[in-house]
Amino acid sequence: MQSDVKIQRLIFQFILSIVILSNVAYAQQDSPELHEKTLEEITKDISSQQEPHIDVGDKPTAIGVNPKTNRIYVANQDDGTVSVIDGSNNTKIGNDIPVGMGPVAIGVDFIGNKIFVANEGNNSVSVIDGSNNRKIGNDIPVGKGPADVAVSPFYRIIYVANPYNNTVSVFYINGTKIGNDIVVGSSPRDIGVDPYSNTIFVANQLNNSVSEIDGHYMYIINNIGVGNSPVAIAVEPFTNTIYVANRNDKTVSVINETNRAEIKNEKFLADVAINPDTNRVYTANPDNDTVSVFYGNNGTKIGNDIAVGKRPMALGVDPSSNTIYVANQDDDTVSVIDGKVNKVVAGLTFYTEPFNGGHIECDNGKIVPTARQIYVYSGSECTAKPNEGFEFVSWQENLGGNSSRILNFSLPNTWYSVLQDSILEFLHSKPDKQETILDLPNFGSFTANFKARPPPIPSEYLVTLFAVVVSAFIGSWLTPTVIEWRRTKRQGSRLDHYHNEVKNLGNLDSEDIGELNNLKDNIADEYSRGRITKEQHDTLANEISVRYREIFKKEMDSLDSLPDDEKIKLLHKLNDDISDAYARERINDLHHTLLKERLTSYEKK
């Protein structure tokens, strides 16, 4: 029997190698690795209207990758949809695809280009046609509370883990069920498939084991003990090595025919994935919003943890481009990691105002294109450089929905430099300001604002003008200018004061809304008295609106833990509170719309 398996492994390894190589060649024709692209190559086919980061649906929980088509599929648990991402430029394609209730897992048939989605809420599997991104037929019924779905590509079989009745459902690609559900360990949570031997591995969370199933005869070969609370599993097919993420003891169990080992991760684990081409193992760490990387052959950690989005819960690997996709549950986004350098890449869109006022340079000194998406690594620095005759004014973050905010930066501001700047500006002889660097606070769309400088006064007039300037300081002619300068300085101090007050509020909940109301009223009062400008008021109002939205979102997140009658009451209260806050101009149009959409999704449950 063992020799038969080895022969099968050799045969299928040869077949799979041909398929993978053809898939890699196909994918690489259209999508070379991001770190090998020039800025022009990255941006030449990207519309300036596309979003500069990958926003997906509500509560992304699982990711599946089709390396042949270079498409990434994301299951959005709370809105019952699947988002589709184009891996060649990392932008979302079309509208999200409606599937069953509470999609929590995705399996990809890269040969038939079909995507299988496990729906926890209605005990079913939805099927999507990858050629047109449309759902096919009726959902397939499976066991209770399906938690994962996996595809055996060459045998054309689908496996579904059902944790609430401790079984695995099995059916063909066409939806035809195969026999009775297979009884495995307690609370099966994740499934991995070895395509060579058609062996299936099931992580059983509540009895700390992995069930090994013979895919030919559908029976359990062995139950393998692993760490505490195994919740995720990944199979490296070339070496028949299995990696199991153990949530409670923060380890990864490594199992193969000749060796047993453990990788210490020291963080709460949500998922594990492997790139078989590089033999790199990746773990999603939701407790500190990172991804860890290890060598698969010896478990040695590679570099520092990679910072991603909020609460990463699922991983997907595209071996053809050496790209790792991370589903971040709490901010509804997907992070993209370049596997060659283990850094996050993301899209940025830059604008300059006016268009000829200056240009932007990032990291390597190359001028980046404006109004077009580019990719940079996390932590990059981008510099706004004014063109001749202009000076830099400010960085502005474009928040969407015609909303924006000015980003604070600091330059030396001694009394001498202020006086010198005032005199030089009066003389129209002020040089360009220091090139101002933006340490990217997040990824998105940014505008560098410049302003034109009047031409310098000819040198032959400087002596006369100097006398005029001295007289102006002595006489009353300059008094209004001084007063205006002092008023502007006071307004800037008040802006800094209130900006720090908002920043120091920390994490808010519903009990803090009174304090936030008072702060909003104080800012409105300062504006009505002319103590801050409209631009400063709008900037602070947007920051306050963000904090209101955080409070309401936190209340919405608590709905799942409430009984139905209390949930209905809180939904009505939240609806009234949000409407009242909007009527009182405590939240802006964009945040009001987002909150209402999120509230509607809860009401539909």
Q: What is the CATH superfamily name and number for domain 241-341?
A: TolB, C-terminal domain (2.120.10.30)
pTM above 0.75, yes or no: no
Better pLDDT: 549 or 560: 549
Average the pLDDT over each of 44-53, 340-349, 506-515 and give the range with the smallest value: 44-53
pLDDT tens-digit map of 359-369? 888 766 677 77
CB 314 within 8 A of CB 189: no
CB 352 within 8 A of CB 386: no
* DSSP H helices in 365-478: 415-426, 462-474
Better pLDDT: 2 or 574: 574
Beta bridge partners of 317: 324
SS3 236: strand
Nearest to 207 by CA among 191, 229, 190, 224: 229
CB 518 within 8 A of CB 477: no
Q: Is the pLDDT of residue 5 over 60?
A: no
SS3 580: helix
Q: Tell me the chain's radius of gyration from C-alpha atoms.
A: 29
Better pLDDT: 3 or 544: 544
CA dist 204 → 185, 212, 246 (Å): 5, 11, 10
CA dist 169 → 66, 273, 580 (Å): 23, 23, 49
What is the DSSP code string of 66-120? ETTTTEEEEEETTTTEEEEEETTTTEE-SSPEE-SSSEEEEEEETTTTEEEEEEG
Nearest to 283 by CA among 298, 275, 293: 293
Better pLDDT: 454 or 73: 73
DSSP H/E element including 367: strand 366-367
One-letter amino acid identity for 387?
N
Q: Which of 283-287, 388-392, 559-563 has the highest mean pLDDT?
A: 283-287
| Per-residue pLDDT band at 505 (split at 50, 70, 90) | confident
Summary mean pLDDT of the chain: 79
Better pLDDT: 211 or 197: 211
Mean pLDDT of 198-219: 95
Residues 6+ apart with CB under 8 A from 440: 348, 376, 379, 380, 381, 382
Start-end ranges of CATH 2.120.10.30 in the chain?
Answer: 241-341
What pLDDT is stored for residue 40 in this prediction? 40
Mean pLDDT of 448-464: 69
pLDDT tens-digit map of 117-152? 999 999 999 999 999 999 999 999 999 999 999 999
CB 459 within 8 A of CB 411: no
Give the CB-side neighbour count of residue 308, counting CA atoms within 13 A.
Answer: 34
